[in-house]
């Protein structure tokens, strides 16, 4: 029997798909200035939360996240972090970021830095709101339930950073913010005048 090759569709080997995924993540880490060390728990946590936040922002890196005690987590990413530790440590990648991806990485870095607590809280809040459809107040309650070991201030800061990174403010939001900050600016000026500065 003769094989019909006209209908055959070439399927790329699984390894090249995996390499493509992890190399894109390395490109993001490089853009963020994140020197990853597989032996450090905080680095593994930071890596997970950076990737999950990028996924929540709409950048498809191919690493789906599920919710665990320490927030969103991708078992596939963990597998690649352990499979390619030298490449991650040296930030060696054949992948390049698009201008939009570079802009998103810059925004992520400016807002969160590489701070594990803010990243963990922010990614968890983002997961509850964007993946599970929780309203903002319920998402905060769920974050507090899942992370009772973090203070109110740490939760508030992480949530604030998540909102800033993941959600685009409406015109109404910007006006309300402008009005609120205007009140504080006027109060600050009045206080300085009172002290004679």
Query: What are the pLDDT digits (tens) for 128-175?
Result: 999 999 999 999 999 999 999 999 999 999 999 999 999 976 777 667
The per-residue pLDDT for range 72-91, each reduced to its tens digit, is 999 999 999 999 999 999 99
Alpha-carbon distances, residue 121 vs 22, 38, 107, 118 (angstroms): 24, 22, 17, 5
Predicted local distance difference test score (pLDDT) of residue 148: 94
Residue 65 and residue 156 in one domain: yes
Indicate if 113 and 194 belong to the same structural domain.
Answer: no
The mean pLDDT of 59-67, rounded to a whole number, is 94
The verdict on 188 and 159 lying in the same domain is no
Q: Is position 192 within any domain?
A: yes
In a domain, 3, yes or no: no
Residue 116 and residue 195 in one domain: no
- Which contacts of 56-61 are long-range, i.e. CB under 8 A and separated by 24 or more positions? 56/123, 56/126, 56/127, 56/130, 56/131, 56/166, 57/104, 57/108, 57/165, 57/166, 59/101, 59/104, 61/21, 61/24, 61/25, 61/28
Which range of residues forms the domain containing residue 100? 14-166
Residue 2 lies in a domain: no
Which alpha helices (H) appear in the chain, and where do they start and end? 14-32, 41-57, 75-83, 85-90, 99-112, 116-126, 136-146, 152-166, 171-195
105 and 34 inside one domain = yes
**Residue 1 domain-assigned?**
no
Overall number of domains in the chain? 2
Cβ distance 26 to 87 under 8 Å? yes
Angle (CA) 182-188-190 rounded to 5° is 105
Same domain, 184 and 90: no
Please indicate, yes or no, if residue 9 is contained in any of the structural domains. Answer: no
End-to-end CA distance of the chain: 94
- Shared domain check, 188 and 157: no
Q: Given pLDDT bands bounded at 50, 70 and 90, which one contains residue 4?
A: very low
Q: How far is residue 160 from each of residues 2, 112, 154, measured CA to CA in Å?
A: 64, 10, 10
Residue 6 lies in a domain: no
Q: Is the pTM of the predicted complex or chain greater than 0.75? A: yes
Three-state DSSP state, 27: helix
Tokens of 67: 């919710």
In a domain, 148, yes or no: yes
* 4 within a domain of the structure (yes/no): no
Residues 181 and 138 in one domain: no
Sort 5 into a burial class: Cβ within 10 Å, 0-12 / 13-18 / 19+: exposed
Residues 175 and 133 in one domain: no
Both 110 and 64 in one domain: the answer is yes
- Please tell me whether residues 122 and 97 are part of one structural domain: yes
Mean pLDDT value of segment 60-77 = 93
Q: Are residues 36 and 64 in the same domain?
A: yes
């Amino acid at each position: 029997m003769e094989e019909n090759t006209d209908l055959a569709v070439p399927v790329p080997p699984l390894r090249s798909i995996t390499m493509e995924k992890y190399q894109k993540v390395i490109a993001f880490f490089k853009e963020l200035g994140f020197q990853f060390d597989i032996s450090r728990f905080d680095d593994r946590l930071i890596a997970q939360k950076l990737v999950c936040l990028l996924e929540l922002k709409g950048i498809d890196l191919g690493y789906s996240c599920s919710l665990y005690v320490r927030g969103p987590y991708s078992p596939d990413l963990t597998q690649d972090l352990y499979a390619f530790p030298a490449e991650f440590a040296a930030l060696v990648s054949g992948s390049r970021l698009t201008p939009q991806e570079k802009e998103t990485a810059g925004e992520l870095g400016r807002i969160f830095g590489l701070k594990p607590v803010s990243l963990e809280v922010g990614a968890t809040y983002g997961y509850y709101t964007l993946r599970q459809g929780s309203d903002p107040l319920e998402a905060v309650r769920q974050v507090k339930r899942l992370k009772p070991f973090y203070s109110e201030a740490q939760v508030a800061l992480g949530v604030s950073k998540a909102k800033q990174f993941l959600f685009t403010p409406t015109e109404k939001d910007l006006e309300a913010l402008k009005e609120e900050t205007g009140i504080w600016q006027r109060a600050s000026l009045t206080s300085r005048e009172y002290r004679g500065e």
